[in-house]
């Protein structure tokens, strides 16, 4: 961790790095789940195991997309400067 000019510990770089790593990981998982779902679409739709797997993969895919969206929002919030200008006297 580094300290900025005011002596306050600066965690933004660490947070940003975690957001980037999380985003990369989630995108990778989303691609895998989408591939698995395409493969399931090529199989027998009436098979109980295929139906259960499709539901499970769709749930996981939706969850990861929600997390990815949350990370994107967090990244935007952190990109907004929080340092306030001193009041004019």
**In this predicted structure, what is the pLDDT of residue 76?**
83
**In this predicted structure, what is the pLDDT of residue 60?**
98
User: Mean pLDDT, to the nearest integer, of 53-75?
Assistant: 93
Interval 7-62: pLDDT, tens? 444 444 447 888 889 999 999 999 999 999 999 988 877 788 888 999 999 999 99
- pLDDT category, 80, cuts 50, 70, 90? low
DSSP annotation of 57 reads H
How much helix, strand and coil, in percent to the nearest 5, is found in the chain? Answer: 70, 5, 25
User: 64, 6, 12, 70: which is closest to 33 by C-alpha?
Assistant: 64
What does the angle CA 80 – CA 85 – CA 87 come to, to the nearest 5 degrees?
A: 145
């Amino acid at each position: 961790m580094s300290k900025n000019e005011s002596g306050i510990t600066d965690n933004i770089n660490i947070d940003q790095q975690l957001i980037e790593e999380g985003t990369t990981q989630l995108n990778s998982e989303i691609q895998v789940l989408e591939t698995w779902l395409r493969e399931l679409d090529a199989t027998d739709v009436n098979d109980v195991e295929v139906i259960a797997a499709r539901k499970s993969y769709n749930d996981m895919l939706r969850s990861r997309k929600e997390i990815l969206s949350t990370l994107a929002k967090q990244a935007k919030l952190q990109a907004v400067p929080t340092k306030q200008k001193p009041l004019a006297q």
